[in-house]
């Protein structure tokens, strides 16, 4: 998904995430996790 909306549940942030995308995610109360955290969660499964 390339854009954030109120229907987005999580934002997984890589190195090139823009500040506006993070701000929009915060505005909608979306859970923000880093790419590293995401990989750790997936590897636990």
Q: Does the reported pTM lie above 0.85?
A: no
pLDDT band at 2; cut points 50, 70, 90: confident
Mean pLDDT of 10-19: 93
pLDDT band at 25; cut points 50, 70, 90: very high
Token pair, residue 33, equals 């996790």
Q: Are 32 and 23 in contact (CB under 8 A)?
A: no
pLDDT above 90: residue 38 = yes
Report DSSP letters for 6-36, one per residue. Answer: TT--EEEE-TT--HHHHHHHHHHT-EEEEHH
Report the 10 Å Cβ neighbour count for 12. Answer: 15
d(Cα 7, Cα 25) in Å, to the nearest integer?
Answer: 11
């Amino acid at each position: 998904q390339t854009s954030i909306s109120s229907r987005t549940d999580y934002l997984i942030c890589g190195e090139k995430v823009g500040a506006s995308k993070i701000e929009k995610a915060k505005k909608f109360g979306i859970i923000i996790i880093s790419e590293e955290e995401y990989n750790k969660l997936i590897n636990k499964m």
